[in-house]
Structure 1
Amino acid sequence: MSTFRTLASADAPVRVIQVGAGGMGQAWLHNDRANPDVELVGIVDLNLEAARAGAEVYGSPSLPVSTDLLSLVASVEPDAILDITVPVAHHPVTTDSLFAGLPVLGEKPAAQNVAEALSLAAAAEVTGELFMVSQSRRYNDQLVAYRQQAGLLGSLGTVSTQFAKAPHFGGFREEMDNVLLLDMAIHPFDSVRYLLDRDPIAVYCESYNPSWSWYRGDAAASAIFEFEGGIRYTYDGSWCAPGLETSWNGAWRLSGSQGSALWDGDHEPTVEVTDSASRPVAPAESGAADLPTLPSVGDGIEGSLAAFVSSLRTGAVPDGEVHGNVMSLAMVEAAIESKESGSRILIDDVLSRAYETALATEKRDDVRAQLESWSSVRGALQAVAVSA
């Protein structure tokens, strides 16, 4: 049963306004143009010249543009909003859109902190509109195949991701606190939740900045997460690791009672299943040869936009729906709290503190009342089942 309003037409293009026309916004404008199921009907940006430049990028210079979202909504009457703004703007843009009766597809993270993300989950409940976070690296056919292979490994025990890149971004990233954890680690954190189909319990994390780093904040981190069922996930990442770099998706290893699987992040994953004496068995005997080829989920933001459109037409809950996505942001917040305190942090404690903050800071009475109706935060987040 759908938990959000679907569109009346199952085949007409979805008419969208995009909010944000900066660097990432321009990538999305190309994405909008390439999707035949989407019609861009307006662009909003605080910089009107950036909005006009975005219309040029989209290929429609006369496209309506504005610095004010709600006025443009009233003018062009879109079906949905794409929020491609900076994290600090995600909460106000998404809240205004949901209460204007419009579903939202927003860039990650859902909000700048877990408290704001909980507010947005409650706002989606109050309005009956879909809020989906574009956790774009989850849309990867190789990751889907890797999850299939996990089913051959028996009882799962350990997962690890090694991430090593050396990008010189310039700009705000090089001045951020906790730049790796805040800006990049949410991708593998979200992917491991998908891979295991389980949620995290606790984390211990340390972060640091190598002597040669060109970042002001910590550009490297190591974290150990405990997941439901006693599974351990280890993340070891650096954004100032020149030479022999990994994929942007990282290099993965997954081990269970009956074997292991590897994924280098750029090519098809591989699996080796063993017998009771830990000897490799042939693919035909392991079941690997019988894994079905699943429909493509698309790639990156292309896949997330297609999933958003499909959900609005069918009512199927997409990967990235806000209730399911909050826990990925909670992993980031818990890892930062752990490295600052030097102690192991329980995810439920992070959720509890964020919930109290959300109640104390919420400006809308209807959203606060919805938050107060939750019997538990984890229970409320798990109430919306995410489709596979």
Structure 2
Amino acid sequence: MVKAIQIGLGHWGFSWTKEVIPNVPTIEMVGYVDSNPEALARAQSELGIAEDKCFLSLDAAMQAVEPVLAICTLRTEAHYPVVKQCLELGLNVIVEKPFASTIAQAKELVALAKARGRVLMVSQNYRFQPAPIAAAELIASQKFGAVNLVSIDFRRHAPSQGYRYWDMPDPLLADMSIHHFDLMRMVLGDEPKRVSCRTWNPAGSPFGFHPIGVATLEFEKGTIVSYRGSWMSSGPVTPWAGEWTMDCAEGEIIWTSRDHFMGKAGPDRLALRARDQDAVPMPLGAVALADRMGTLNAVAKVIASGSVPPHFSSGADNLHSLALVQATILSASRGGDWVEIAEIMQ
């Protein structure tokens, strides 16, 4: 078991404390850190966490306990300084996405983790689901040959679904699409080359910034991805990972993932359609620890064994997913002009 502390017990952090961490048997919690005493008091009263495991600062926690891993579940703007402090203290880190606000900050954290010989993982939880894992394996094995075109649709109506971050900049690209961008890289086993993106905010929208966007993404091997996302859609709700159609030389791979919505939940789905044939559903293997539990378990296993599994979202790997977010935002600000990923990475 890996001894860990959690830093950040706010709204999303508390969800980690309650729903994720207790279900990962490879983790032994030795401390919880939050600068807000009310957050610590809530963890104690609602979850029965011992008072002597709760600290108002990372320094206080490090004086009292000896963790190996920091689980960083803070607001985005706090990721960089806190992760940097953790790495400087010799801790391994798993952090929520995006793991930094800029590419420069992200590169600095990756370099620091490498210099200190520590694991830095970004919790890209959508990777730990049956459908994208199966799709990645099918693409890697050339089930239907080379991939020509990938079409992805994400549809939600935020005003009627409990959305709360109306003033967040880039609520589609930065808050939601990073999941889809990261899955593109994982499933295709390829890196993006350039992107073109347009975003907009419809009349009557409660959003302060653009909740709808379309993007064309070109990957290094030549695959083109057509991506359409909306937080203001009145159409049929898609699963959180979106609806994917992967058009290959000899057939299609069609899949969806994370199909849960307002108390309802359904399994991941994947179907194969050979050229000129009907689609045939493909059975999917179970994932022992899915979603955020999967990311936390993965980082614990890497720390314990030193062996890095397939699809592990290290900080170095995640630089490319963060670059996709930055590139689409920049393209949208330029009216849809093509933006080279190399420009962003520099």
Q: TM-score, normalised by structure 1?
A: 0.80
Instruction: Say which of 50, 54, 69 aligns to 2:43.
Output: 54
* 1:101-122 CA-partner distances (Å, limit 9, x unpaired): 1100111111112221111111
**Post-superposition shift, 1:317?**
2.4
Q: Is the partner of 1:198 in helix, strand or coil?
A: coil
The residue type equivalent to 1:194 in the other structure is: M
Is contact 1:153–1:258 with CA below 8 Å preserved after alignment? yes
Aligned to 2:4: 16
Matches within 5 A, 1:356-371: none
Structure 2's unaligned 5+ residue stretches are: 260-267
Aligned to 1:299: 290
Aligned to 1:340: 333
Matches within 5 A, 1:94-243: 94-150=83-139, 151-168=142-159, 169=162, 171=164, 173-243=165-235
CA distance in 2, matches of 1:143, 1:220: 24
Q: Please say if 1:320 is aligned against 2:313.
A: yes
**Post-superposition shift, 1:170?**
5.6
* 1:142-198 CA-partner distances (Å, limit 9, x unpaired): 211122333311011111210001224565x20022111111100000001000000
Is contact 1:214–1:240 with CA below 8 Å preserved after alignment? no
The residue type equivalent to 2:154 in the other structure is: F
* 1:293-346 CA-partner distances (Å, limit 9, x unpaired): 767363110111111111111112251110001100100000000010121000
* 1:261-309 CA-partner distances (Å, limit 9, x unpaired): 11133332001123xxxx33997xxxx98x9x76736311011111111
> Identity of paired residues, percent?
30
CA distance in 2, matches of 1:37, 1:335: 37
CA distance in 2, matches of 1:75, 1:165: 45
Is contact 1:33–1:58 with CA below 8 Å preserved after alignment? no
Matches within 5 A, 1:239-258: 239-258=231-250
Query: Number of residue pairs matched?
Result: 329
**Structure 1 residues 342-351 or 309-318, which shifts more?**
309-318
The residue type equivalent to 2:17 in the other structure is: L
CA distance in 2, matches of 1:176, 1:35: 31
Change (3 A) 1:55 1:317: farther
CA distance in 1, matches of 2:299, 2:46: 22
CA distance in 2, matches of 1:231, 1:57: 49
* 1:189-233 CA-partner distances (Å, limit 9, x unpaired): 000100000000000000001113211100001010000111101
Instruction: Say which of 87, 101, 110 aligns to 2:76.
Output: 87
CA distance in 2, matches of 1:143, 1:170: 25
CA distance in 1, matches of 2:279, 2:208: 50
Is contact 1:139–1:297 with CA below 8 Å preserved after alignment? no
Change (3 A) 1:25 1:63: farther
CA distance in 2, matches of 1:193, 1:96: 29
Matches within 5 A, 1:248-287: 248-265=240-257, 266=259, 267-274=268-275, 279-280=276-277
Instruction: Say which of 52, 55, 59 aligns to 1:70.
Output: 59
Is contact 2:2–2:304 with CA below 8 Å preserved after alignment? no
Q: Is the partner of 1:159 in helix, strand or coil?
A: strand
Greater helix share, 1 or 2?
1
Structure 1's unaligned 5+ residue stretches are: 1-12, 353-388
* 1:78-100 CA-partner distances (Å, limit 9, x unpaired): 12100000111111111111111
CA distance in 2, matches of 1:47, 1:136: 27
Greater strand share, 1 or 2?
2
**Structure 1 residues 70-79 or 115-124, which shifts more?**
70-79
The residue type equivalent to 2:231 in the other structure is: W
Change (3 A) 1:149 1:21: same
